[in-house]
Amino acid sequence: MRFHDHLHSAKDLVTPYAEVRTGFIKLALEKNRQATPFIQEAKTLKALALQITQPADLLNMHELRPAILTAAGVSDKARKYLTEDDQIEAIKGLVDNFLEPAGRDFIDELVFRFLLTRGDALGGRMRNLAGILAEHKLTRVIISTLALQDKQFSWLNAATRLWQVGNKDDSDIERYVRGLLHWCRHRVCNGRRDIFTTSAW
C-alpha cells in the first residue's frame, strides 16, 4: 500500500484533539493508579515516625532506613551503592538541614520529602509508560492490518528471544513483542520480507 493512499497532506499526520485528550486522561488515571502504593507508604511512614520526639531519633530507626533515605533524596538505585556510613551521612544531612529547622512540623517535612523523591520516580516511570503504550498501540495496528489481509506473521518474544508464529486473536502479543516479521511471497513485492521492530528491548 502506497502512503499516498492514506496520507494526502501534512495535516493527516497531526493527532486529532479528541485522541490527544483521551491519551492525556488515560495517562493521568494511570498515574494516579500507580501513585497509590506511594501514598500508602507515606501514610505508614508518618504513622511510624510519630513515635519519635525529635528528628535525630530517625538515625536509630533501622527498620525505616530505606524510607528515610528516600526522604533524604536518595533513590532506590543510588542506595545500593552507599555504605552504612554514607547512608548515615545522608540522613544526618536531612535532619540537620531540613527536619530540625521545621521544628514541630518535622514529621510532615519528612513525609513531604519522601513523596517528592517518590514522585520523581513515578514521573520517570510514566514517561516510559507513555512510550510503551504508544508502542503497544502501533504494534496492534500492524497486527490488525496483517490479520484483515489474512497474512501470516511471526513475532519475536522479548522474554524467550525466540520467533513464534503469530496469532491475530492473541490479545497480549503487544505486551511481549520485540519484533514482527511478515514474508511477502507475491510477485508484486518480489519475495520481500517486511520486518517491523519495536523498542521494547
pTM: 0.63
- H or E element that contains 193: strand 193-197
**In the chain, what are the domain boundaries?**
16-134, 151-201
* Burial (0-12, 13-18, 19+ Cβ within 10 Å), 171: exposed
Q: Which of 52-56, 135-139, 174-178, 179-183 has the lowest mean pLDDT?
A: 179-183
Q: What is the mean pLDDT of residues 78-91?
A: 94
- pLDDT-based confidence at residue 175 (cuts at 50, 70, 90): confident
Q: Which of 67-81, 108-122, 137-151 has the lowest mean pLDDT?
A: 137-151
pLDDT at 109 over 50: yes
Helices (H), 1-105: 17-49, 65-71, 76-79, 84-94
Task: State CA 69 to chain mean position distance.
Answer: 22
Inter-residue contact 157 to 174 (CB < 8 Å): no
Q: What is the CATH number of domain 16-134?
A: 1.10.238.90
- pLDDT-based confidence at residue 198 (cuts at 50, 70, 90): very low
Inter-residue contact 82 to 93 (CB < 8 Å): no
User: Strand, coil or helix: what is 120?
Assistant: helix
**Alpha-carbon distance 174 to 32, whole Å?**
24
Task: Identify the residue with better confidence: 170 or 183.
Answer: 170
Q: What is the mean pLDDT of residues 90-106?
A: 96
- In this prediction, residue 79 carries a pLDDT of 92
Residue 100: which residues within 8 A CB-CB, separation 6 or more? Answer: 55, 106
Average pLDDT, rounded, for the chain: 84
User: Strand, coil or helix: what is 34?
Assistant: helix
Which phi and psi (to 5°) does residue 197 adopt?
-115, 155
**Alpha-carbon distance 73 to 90, whole Å?**
9
